[in-house]
Amino acid sequence: MTQSNNQSTSRRDFLKVTTATAVGTGILSTLGSTAHVHASGDDTIKVGLVGCGGRGTGAASQALSTKGNVKLEAMADAFKDRMDSSLNNLQKQFSGRPERVDVAEDKMFVGFDAYQKLLDSGVDVVILATPPGFRPIHFEAAVNKGVHIFMEKPVASDVTGVKKVLEAAKKAKEKNLAVGVGLQRHHQAPYIETIQRLKDGAIGDITSMRCYWNSGGVWEPRLAREDAKSEMEYQMRNWYYYNWLCGDHINEQHIHNIDVCNWLKDDFPVKAYGMGGRQVRTDKKYGEIYDHFAVEFVYADDTRMYSQCRHIRNCWNSVTEHAQGTKGSCDISGAKYETTGGYKWKYRGKKANPYQVEHDDLFAAIYNGTPYNEAEYGAKSTMTSILGRLATYSGKPVTWDEAMASEVSLMPKEFSWEGTPVTVPDENGFYPIPTPGVSNVL
């Protein structure tokens, strides 16, 4: 194409284009001999999607864009309209390869138990992309069924959920199931190289880390109170604003940055101190979550991770991670560091879409039968975010062990449209908001 020059005028774009072709070549070469590891008779991998929102649909698209013979065969969601629009979008996306999206009507499942029906319908790989609160239940069921799994981050919204995921992760290993977790920075070349260099001592010993997810917030509540048929439906449609579903924004988004610091430390914090609250997003339609957190995490060797996340418009925004070492400092997200001696390094290598690479890597492992399990660090980084939330809500230091000993569950007793979530609004529509110094969280 004559315009290809123009379409890649910038250096960044050029780099991206060159890498797109490099991805996945290693996978194709191994296809022939190893396709027997999955259940179906031929070499087709049958994928099921549980949770058909924007991200689930995106994840399905990436799974279907891997090099092997992959097709989407089943879908599940609590809401039929979400599933229908998801299918429609995927069909559009794959109009050039329609055989990849082949979902019969009897393989479309709606409701709270849709995930189980989907698992029972005979898929090889399941994508779990509902709101995070459901993940532990779905993950456990998928492991029990013996299918390979891609699950979005975070993998739970509360401690009991994390524990369930850790249990199931062990079982997944025993069964040699491949498990990918949507912490895509682990599959992003600039991150991988930067972290490796830091571990190799590029800026000396790491003395502290900082990370941020400060942004303008996410989508507005989608369903108005007067249009909701039940409290359960209201919260499910507006899931970001309810803790049992989302785990607050420190868990739902900021986990990415917290996880990078854990990755660099090769460890997880033992304790957290936090503060935060609801300063701007105070309307009752914003449910029960906070709009800002500042948390200090402490690792066993007393190293600190300073973390901020904020959902307030028109403030200093940053979604980044940084490390300070005895011999320099590093902007991890910017993939560059500088030593006290004046040496500067910046990643200049290839870049590729990490959302695609994470699926390429997972499906390569499935084809090759190589051990692949990201569930444990996914669960522990989720736990780190939750620990930050507990420390912030309570206004008191909370240790990892104390938190892990907690039996407090945020999940509803009954999963049905008539079921009652743990927190419900008062007569004016306001939810009880956790209050530092007052609320007991463990």
Partner 1 sequence: MLSVCRHSLLMQGKFTFLAAILFSVSMASAQEAKTEKEMKPYTEKILNTDVTFDMVPIPGGEFLMGSPDSEKNREDDEGPQVKVKIEPFWMGKHEVTWNEYDIWSFNLDIQRRKLMRGKYDEKEKAADAVTRPTKPYTDMTFDMGHDGYPAICMTQLAAKTYCKWLSEKTGHYYRLPTEAEWEYACRAGTKTAYSFGDNAANLDDYAWHYANCNDTYQKVGQKKPNPWGLYDIHGNVSEWVLDQYIPDAYKKWSGKGTLNFPVNVPTTLYPRVARGGSWDDEPESLRSANRIASSSDWKIQDPQIPQSIWYHTDAIMVGFRVVRPLKVPTAEERKKYGLDPVIPADEGR
Binding site for partner 1 (CB under 8 A): 2-3, 5-13, 16-17, 54-55, 57-61, 85-86, 89-90, 93, 184, 213-220, 313-314, 316-320, 333, 346, 353-355
Please state the closest distance from residue 302 (CB atom) to partner 1, in A: 28
In the bound complex, what is the minimum distance in angstroms from residue 363's beta carbon to partner 1? 17
CA distance 243 to 209: 27
Q: Which is nearer to partner 1, 153 or 271 (CB)?
A: 153
Shortest spacing between CB 216 and partner 1, in angstroms: 5
Block residue for tokens 């939810």: 431
Our CB check for partner 1 shows the closer of 16 and 67 to be 16
String of DSSP letters for 223-256: S-GGG-SSHHHHHHHTGGG-HHHH--HHHHTTHH
Query: Closest distance between partner 1 and the C-beta of residue 150, in Å?
Result: 13
Distance between CA atoms of residues 432 and 164, nearest Å: 27
**Residue 314 or 428 having the CB closest to partner 1:** 314
Distance CA 259, CA 180 (A): 15
C-beta of 60 vs 172, nearer to partner 1: 60
Tell me the CA distances in angstroms from 43 to 68, 149, 423, 432, one per residue in order: 8, 18, 47, 52
Of the pair 16, 327, the CB lying nearest partner 1 is at 16
Residues 6+ apart with CB under 8 A from 110: 76, 77, 78, 79, 80, 83
Q: Which of 30, 140, 126, 48 has the alpha carbon at shortest distance from 370?
A: 30
Virtual CA dihedral for 43, 49, 54, 60, nearest 10 degrees?
Answer: -10
Residue placing its CB nearer to partner 1 in the complex, 19 or 439: 19
Q: Residue 160 is inside which H or E element, if any?
A: helix 159-174
Least gap, CB of 58 to partner 1 (angstroms)? 4
Contact present, 212 and 318 (Cβ < 8 Å):
yes
Q: Rounded to an integer, what distance in angstroms lies between the CA atom of residue 418 and that of residue 53?
A: 23
Residue 75 contacts residue 154 (beta carbons within 8 Å): no
Find the shortest distance in angstroms from Cβ 418 to partner 1. Answer: 27
Give me the least distance between CB of 126 and partner 1, in Å please. 18
Nearest-approach distance from CB 276 to partner 1, in angstroms = 18
Pick between residue 12 and residue 229 the one whose CB is nearest to partner 1: 12
Nearer to partner 1, 9 or 95 (CB): 9
Q: What is the C-alpha separation between 425 and 413, in angstroms, rounded?
A: 17
